[in-house]
Chain A
Amino acid sequence: METGIPEETGLVGDEPVWRMLPPGLLRMRRLLLAVWAGVLALAAGLLPGLLAGWVWAAFALLPLALAAWGWRLLGRNWRSWRYAERADDLLISRGVLWREETVVPYGRMQLVEVTSGPVERWFGLASVQLHTAAAATDATIPGLDPAEAERLRDRLTELGQARSAGL
């Protein structure tokens, strides 16, 4: 459950060592949610409030309630994300209602990508994406620490080369 540097923990073999995402991603998503909800609440409160009387400003509660619900959902979703580096494959598990668990053998990886958008960079986050020869393979780990993302990329590339196999 740590996000720091592992001491060869991924090589335990059968028992996967699950790692969770760092809290940065949750913080970023919640902040974005709060900002958008605030803007919406302001608009929903001010417009009817000014035009039709101050009672109608209660509309502002609607986006706020939705935001509170979204706050919880984001937390649950963030907690559901986890990944494990096993000796020969990478496991990614995610989703609360729609659960998905992906296994990608290292030998099948064609390309490992580290991406970081402007907002992600502001929060010091980066995503690692794995591509195999199958386009349906959807193996992305979002919101990692840049150092961890780079470590993962290097390790995956190294393992991928060692176990490389074509199509």
Chain B
Amino acid sequence: MTTSDLDGVPARPPVAERRLHPVTPFRRAWAPVAVLAGWAGHDPNGAQEQLQRLTSTMLLIGLAVLVPAAGLYGFLSWWFTHFAVTDSELRIRTGLLFRRTAHIRLERIQAVDVTRPLLARVAGVAKLRIDVVGADKKDELAFLGEQEARALRAELLARAAGFAPETAHEVGEAPAHELLHVPPRELALSLVLTGATWGSLTAALVVPPVLWLATHSVWTVLATALPLLGAAGASSAGRFVAEYDWTVGESPDGLRIDHGLLDRTHETVPPGRVQTVRIVEPLLWRRRGWVRVELDVAGSDNSVLVPVAPRAVAESAIARILPGVTVPASLSRPPRRAGWCVPVWWRGHGLAVTEAVFAARHGLLRRRLSLVPHAKVQSVRLTQGPWGRLWRLADVHVDTGADKTVTARLRDAEEAARLLRAQAERSRTGRRDARPDRWMT
């Protein structure tokens, strides 16, 4: 079915509508079971009481009604979901009772993700998600055949890049050039050196016994232990599994991020979509010179670019993503009197403005350096409270399109006023040499 759909694409007129992969309805069939399980997990005492009242026949009858009903719902919602790729848009038509049509403009695509959760990998299908500003969770195509998803991603990107409509589906996937790869050993070690991992593990090991001593109630202990264990697992093993085999690549389509041990994710961020980049440096990583790089793309969920890498490697990757940007080596600290506003921690703040970026750092133990290319600045604000006025200090905020605000705190008031004017000027002119939305034109 999938292959025939795929083969049929070139022959059809441009607005031919397609359906999702026929495996799709089955994922809906799980919904009521998942809801019940979620309710049982949320309120174990109530669930047990309710279960004791039910007989096994009633349970069977309930399941016999619920599962086909959910299956029918799944089938109908699959039947009524269509999508089509036109020259400039991706159209998704869906909804059983309430019809909904989404037209997504291709030149405004911020990122395209192909994810393959474990079960979907077994079934040979994938989820395709298009990130645009203000997009809905519903605007993802789940599920498509694996081949079809790849072909569709390539086609969408080719059209978004501005290739001619006739040739768009023949362009195929652009070759990727690997920028960096995170070895599993380094990833495991970096997680061991993260405070959050140990914090959640100790919480999971200490809190339940203490509660047991205090209350002697199995349900209370279970109700707290399970979420704590879940959090501990998510922050250690879960992160390892999700960030396993992290590969960042570069292609004419933009940035490629592939990762995951069980659930594989392939993300493509077209050129010029990155709004901010953050270099995070936890305290324990500093001796090894490791950093984590996060990025913000408007409308995208994923925010990690590199889970762990040596600083030099990370900086060279950033230079590829934000062309012409070098990470400023030295930052200017706030004046000494800033200690009256923010004791001790004022030393963690810093600011550097280069030709291409506005860079502000904060945090003393866990340092975070945020970089905003001038071309991505939406507005600049200066704020000053009464206490800051007394010490002639002001904050400068730079707002970006990914709903992230980067703040240079505790600057000298006159410097801040100059900075405000200069930054407005820079962000206005920074646009001139930016690439067009259709980056191949």
Chain A interface residues toward B at CB < 8 A: 88-89, 97-105, 107-108, 132-139, 163, 165-167
Contacts and interface: CB of A to CB of B under 8 A. Distances in A.
19 contacts: A98-B384, A98-B385, A99-B382, A99-B384, A101-B381, A101-B382, A103-B380, A103-B381, A103-B420, A132-B399, A133-B298, A133-B378, A134-B401, A135-B403, A136-B379, A137-B379, A163-B428, A167-B275, A167-B376
B286 interface: no
A99 B383 contact: yes
Contact of A167 (B384, B397, B401, B405): B401
Contacts of B378: 104, 108, 132-134, 137
A146 B275 CA distance: 36
Given A97-B385, A134-B401, A167-B376, 6 more contacts: A101-B383, A102-B382, A107-B428, A133-B378, A134-B399, A165-B434
Contacts of B275: 167
B40 to A, nearest CB: 38
A110 B133 CA distance: 12
A166 B133 CA distance: 11
A138 B380 CA distance: 10
B383 A103 contact: no
Nearest to B134: A133
In this complex, the interface size class of chain B, counting residues with CB under 8 Å from chain A, is 20 to 34
Given A88-B428, A166-B437, A103 B379 contact: yes
A100 B381 contact: yes
Contact of A134 (B379, B386, B437): B379
B417 to A, nearest CB: 8
Contacts, number: 83
B188 to A, nearest CB: 37
B42 interface: no
Q: Which residue, A100, A132, A138, A167, has most C-beta atoms of chain B within 10 A?
A: A167
Contacts of B423: 103
Nearest to A98: B385
A89 B428 CA distance: 8
B133 A133 contact: yes
Contacts of B420: 101, 103
Interface in B412-441: 420-421, 423-424, 427-428, 431, 434, 437
Interface string B387-415: 00100000001011101010000000000
Contact of A105 (B133, B386, B403, B424): B424
A102 B437 contact: no
Q: A-B pairs with the 5 shortest C-beta distances?
A: A134-B399, A133-B401, A134-B378, A103-B424, A132-B378
B239 interface: no
